[in-house]
């Protein structure tokens, strides 16, 4: 239940369904989560969002669902049959039961169960050092921000949160330290060639240049010196066109070394 809470809320969890699909020799496990936010209160099981889940969790879920159906088939205290059994049955009988949701755990009870799991795990906040207060909003925020850190865009995050558009997911992709670091890495890959091209090096004299003994390596430009006095030397065999590395004499104008 705690795992299902990472991306849904109490209302969808209470109505969640699971099934196993087989085809081409492979087995896939699918979780059908009602789109509570997209439908009317009286029609919360009309629209579903299917989520693929990992085989390890899927097998556990199928086994658990089978045990629930067995309980509903053997017990006389249940008012619905095994085929309609909820994934998370209600432990206590309540007076107010909506039609079609007999034996379903209430959203409040779902929240209490999830919180009890985290209380037993004794999860502490790195910022405050206190026990983390778990809410469905916090868990959804964790899923969204984790997706943003991994580089997923607003469309993917909106899909994960079952939003119909991206107008409310911008907060999850704001400039967190992790995202800034990813931007730095991405920009560095693009800028590195340009940075290397103009990195340059300061030389004391022409003799210290890579091709200091080659007179053809001298760089001149009448725009800076009409006497065509060399400003430095090109470090490669070939035309640099003022687009390469820089070899700079301390008392001269900057010039590129290709």
What's the farthest any 2 CA atoms get from each other in the chain?
107
Stated pTM of the model: 0.52
Which pLDDT score is estimated for 197? 53
Rounded average pLDDT per 10-residue block, the chain, 258 residues: 50 49 70 68 65 83 85 71 76 65 76 84 84 82 84 85 83 72 78 65 72 79 83 67 51 48
| Secondary structure (DSSP) of 179-242 | HHHHHHHHHHHHHHHHHHHT--EE-SSGGGSTTTT-GGGEE--TTT-TT----EE-SSSS--TT
Which pLDDT score is estimated for 237? 63
Residues 6+ apart with CB under 8 A from 219: 230, 231, 232, 233, 234, 240, 255, 256, 257
Spell out the domain ranges in the chain: 2-92+102-134, 198-258
Which pLDDT score is estimated for 22? 57
Which pLDDT score is estimated for 203? 65
């Amino acid at each position: 239940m705690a795992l299902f809470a990472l991306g849904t809320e109490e209302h969808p969890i209470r109505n969640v369904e699971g099934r196993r699909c087989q085809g081409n020799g492979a087995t896939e496990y699918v979780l059908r989560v009602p789109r509570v936010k997209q439908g009317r209160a009286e029609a919360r099981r009309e629209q579903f969002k299917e989520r693929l889940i990992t085989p390890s969790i899927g097998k556990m879920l199928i086994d658990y669902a089978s045990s629930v159906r067995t309980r509903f088939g053997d017990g006389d205290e249940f008012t619905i049959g095994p085929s309609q059994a909820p994934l998370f049955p209600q432990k206590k009988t309540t007076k107010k039961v909506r039609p079609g949701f007999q034996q379903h755990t209430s959203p409040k009870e779902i929240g209490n169960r999830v919180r009890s799991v985290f209380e037993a795990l004794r999860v502490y906040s790195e910022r405050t050092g206190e026990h983390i207060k778990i809410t469905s909003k916090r868990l959804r925020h964790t899923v969204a921000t984790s997706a943003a850190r991994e580089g997923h865009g607003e469309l993917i995050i909106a899909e994960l949160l079952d939003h119909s558009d991206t107008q409310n997911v911008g907060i999850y992709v704001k400039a967190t330290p992790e995202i800034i670091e990813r931007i730095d890495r991405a920009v560095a890959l693009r800028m590195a060639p340009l940075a290397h091209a103009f990195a340059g090096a300061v030389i004391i004299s022409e003799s210290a240049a890579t091709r200091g003994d080659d007179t053809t390596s001298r760089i001149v430009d009448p725009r800076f010196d009409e006497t065509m006095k060399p400003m430095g030397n090109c470090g490669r065999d070939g035309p640099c066109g003022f687009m390469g590395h820089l070899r700079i004499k301390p008392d001269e104008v900057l010039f590129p070394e290709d």
